[in-house]
Amino acid sequence: MNILFFSAQSYDREYFTRANLKTSYNLRFLESPLNVDNTALIKNEKVICVFVNDQVNAEVIAQLKEKGVELIALRCAGFNNVDLAAAAAAGIRVVRVPAYSPHAVAEHAVTMLLSLNRKIYKSYNRIRDNNFTLAGLEGFDLYGKTVGVIGTGNIGMVFCWIMLGFGCKVIAHDVYENKELVQAGVVYKSLQEVITEADVISLHCPLMPETKHMINRESIASMKKGVILVNTSRGGLIDTVAVVDALKKGHIGALAIDVYEQEEHLFFQDFSDTIIMDDVLSRLTTFPNVLITAHQGFFTREALTQIAEVTLNNIRCYSEKKELTNEVK
């Protein structure tokens, strides 16, 4: 089986090569992202492996069909970048990694929240300059605060458990209520109630038409003044321009994001010697109360190992004509 990887980084090569010792597939790695201009790079591969920022729209899928591609293997949980209807019409099946160490992303969200609240990043820079003052580093106790969690799937559930451990009052919104979380003390409420009552809001829901820009000018207006907003899910959940305006006005007290709506043009690349042309992201980086990481939440040894193993197992099931339990339809 020949497999072509798009948007491949050094860690993709390392972990997939190691996992492939059990399967011995022919793996070929390209740093280039998949888009309409480079499907010609596909040679004799029946399977392509893509990541979150690869473009798998209808036009690309038509070209994949012409190249003889039979399977699109996502090495991630999200699939909003894939035109599933076009893939089905082309007879190309799509598989994903629905869960990979949910602790990795949940813990990263907590890390960002704590660092933002207690100004750890500011303190670190001060100490390096031999400045040991504390002025301007004041935070607040998370204990007793109301934390709103939007989306209580695998990652959101772990985040809830951690926040409960801090002694927070956890309120949540999801289409499905998790009985274990309810028994532990999590109170499910409407989306509007969560947004209105929370001191901290953390997003853990998928990006779909109904969730796109769920954080917008209207929803922000109903939030508590000084609310902390954390997003480690998908950038499109937030109307970033509206958030910038709310930060300027002081309505949003702090923002932590590991994802960005236009990240496909930036994340996983080095622009240290060039000028970033994205004015919205550039504006965000000027705020002292904004913490940004570049889609780093999944980046742990455990998660990378599981991603590689599950992805290759998905491909193995396809090649052996077994049931595709992780197929996206």
Among all residues, which ones are annotated catalytic? 234, 263, 295
Asked if residues 116 and 253 have their Cβ atoms less than 8 Å apart, the reply is: no
In this structure, the chain runs to a length of 329
Helices 301-319 and 10-19, axial angle in degrees (round to 10): 60
Cα–Cα distance, 107 to 161 (Å, whole number): 11
Q: What own/partner pairs with CB < 8 Å and gap ≥ 24 does 105-108 have?
A: 105/155, 105/204, 105/232, 105/297, 105/298, 105/303, 106/155, 106/156, 106/158, 106/159, 106/162, 106/204, 107/158, 107/162, 108/232, 108/258, 108/293, 108/296, 108/297
Can you read off the two tokens belonging to residue 174? 């999801």
Beta strands at 47-50 and 26-29: parallel, antiparallel or unpaired: unpaired
Cα–Cα distance, 232 to 12 (Å, whole number): 21
Can you read off the two tokens belonging to residue 143? 């204990």
- 304 backbone dihedrals φ, ψ, rounded to 5°: -65, -40
Cα–Cα distance, 103 to 99 (Å, whole number): 10
- 160 backbone dihedrals φ, ψ, rounded to 5°: -60, -45
Q: Which residues contact 89 (CB under 8 A, 6 or more apart)?
A: none
Residue 80: name the closest of 69, 62, 68, 94 by CA: 94
Can you read off the two tokens belonging to residue 91? 């007879």
Residue 47 CA to its chain's centroid (Å): 24
